[in-house]
């Protein structure tokens, strides 16, 4: 009986083109192997390769190459962005006593849900979990009734996670948001 792998949302085989591009960095004798944070020749060569990859990705998503951060997984990236956003909120609003509100779909990935729950449990954020229908679509009416637009415009107290309502809110209310590009670039 033939086996069929159905968990591509979790992990996928490496595309042959990606493997080919990475091989010089994985094999010592191919010239790209080294710690890119080291000052020696091998590290500096690895840094050049890493910066070239970062630049290509930045151009693809119209970003500055310095803003491209590589992580070992989407879970790590989600934690980095969520926790970093909350830390930035408090660092930039030293005189503001408001607790930021993170609005996410109740069908989010566990790495998002658990991080937001953890921050809410510590009192660092207020969490809003938007209900979804049988197809996983966010209830926009519930969402619209959840946001205090005056506070959002004046204090930036809200952070959004996900794409279902992004256009409506970003264009009208200029709220910060995060997009997970891991599955949609290629």
Per-residue pLDDT of the chain (186 residues; tens, 9 = 90+): 899 988 877 778 888 998 898 888 888 777 778 899 999 988 998 899 999 999 998 998 888 988 888 888 888 988 888 888 888 777 777 666 677 778 788 888 888 889 999 999 999 888 888 888 888 777 777 777 776 655 554 444 445 544 444 444 444 445 555 555 554 444
Q: How far is CA 127 from CA 18, 45, 103, in A?
A: 38, 44, 6
Torsion of Cα atoms, 116 then 84 then 164 then 153, to 10°: 100
Residue 38: strand, helix, or coil: coil
**Residue 96 confidence (pLDDT):** 62
Give 129's strand partners: 104
Q: Which of 3.40.640.10, 3.30.70.260, 3.90.1150.10, 3.30.450.40 is the CATH number of 74-178?
A: 3.40.640.10
- pLDDT for 179 equals 55
75 forms beta bridges with none
- Could you tell me where in the chain the CATH 3.40.640.10 domains are found? 74-178
Query: What is this structure's pTM?
Result: 0.69
Predicted confidence at residue 40, as pLDDT, reads 92
Provide the pLDDT for residue 59.
Answer: 93
Q: What is the pLDDT of residue 148?
A: 63
CB neighbours (10 Å) of residue 117?
A: 14
């Amino acid at each position: 009986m033939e086996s069929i792998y159905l968990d591509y949302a979790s992990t996928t085989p490496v595309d042959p083109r990606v493997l080919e591009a990475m091989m010089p960095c994985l094999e010592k004798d191919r010239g790209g192997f080294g710690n890119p944070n080291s000052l020696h020749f091998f590290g500096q060569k690895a840094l050049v390769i890493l910066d070239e990859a970062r630049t290509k990705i930045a151009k693809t998503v119209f970003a500055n190459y310095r803003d491209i951060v590589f992580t070992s997984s989407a879970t790590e990236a989600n934690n980095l962005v969520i926790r970093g956003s909350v830390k930035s909120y408090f660092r930039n609003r030293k005189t503001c006593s408001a607790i930021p509100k993170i609005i996410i779909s109740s069908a989010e990935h566990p790495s998002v849900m658990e991080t937001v729950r953890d921050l809410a449990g510590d009192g660092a954020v207020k969490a809003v979990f938007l209900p979804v229908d049988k197809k996983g679509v966010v209830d926009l009416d519930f969402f619209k009734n959840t946001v205090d637009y005056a506070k959002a415009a004046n204090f930036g107290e809200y952070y959004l996670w996900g794409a279902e309502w992004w256009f409506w809110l970003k264009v009208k209310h200029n709220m910060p948001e995060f997009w997970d590009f891991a599955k949609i670039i290629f």
